[in-house]
Amino acid sequence: MSDFNNENDGGNPKNEARAFAKQYSNFLNVFGQLDDENEKLKEELAVKNAKIEEQQETIDRLMDEQEQSKKDDEWGQRLTFEAVVEEIASNEDAAQRDQYRRFIETMLPQKLVKVLRRAVKKRVKELNEESEEQQEPGTIPTKLKTEEAKELMSSLVDEGILDENWQPIGLSGSERALVARAVCEHLGLKEVWQLFGQLWNEKPETLRSYLNKALDQKKSLEFQDKLKDILD
The whole-number average pLDDT for the span 37-45 is: 78
Q: Residue 71 — pLDDT band, cuts 50, 70, 90?
A: low
pLDDT, position 74: 52
DSSP string, the chain: -HHHHHHHTTT-HHHHHHHHHHHHHHHHHHHHHHHHHHHHHHHHHHHHHHHHHHHHHHHHHHHHHHHHHHHHHHHHHHTSHHHHHHHHHT-S-HHHHHHHHHHHHTTS-HHHHHHHHHHHHHHHHHHHHHHHHHTS--PPPGGG-SHHHHHHHHHHHHTTSB-TTS-BSS--HHHHHHHHHHHHHHHT-S-HHHHHHHHTT--HHHHHHHHHHHTT-THHHHHHHHHHHHH-
pLDDT, position 44: 80
pLDDT, position 65: 72
Examine the pLDDT at 78 and tell me if it is beyond 60.
no
pLDDT, position 17: 73
Examine the pLDDT at 4 and tell me if it is beyond 50.
no
Between 135 and 71, where is the model more confident?
A: 71
pLDDT, position 130: 63
Kindly report the backbone phi and psi dihedral angles of residue 174, in degrees, each rounded to the nearest multiple of 5, phi listed first.
-65, -40
Interval 97-108: pLDDT, tens: 888 888 888 888
pLDDT, position 79: 57
pLDDT, position 8: 47
pLDDT, position 230: 92
pLDDT, position 178: 93
Interval 125-154: pLDDT, tens: 887 766 555 445 578 999 999 999 999 999
pLDDT, position 76: 53
pLDDT, position 6: 47
Examine the pLDDT at 171 and tell me if it is beyond 80.
yes
pLDDT, position 150: 94
pLDDT, position 186: 94
Domain extents in the chain: 2-76, 79-132, 139-231
Between 113 and 74, where is the model more confident?
A: 113
Instruction: Using a pLDDT cut of 90, give the percent of the chain over it.
Output: 25
- Whole-model pTM: value is 0.45
Q: Residue 86 — pLDDT band, cuts 50, 70, 90?
A: confident
Computed over every residue of the chain, the mean pLDDT equals 80
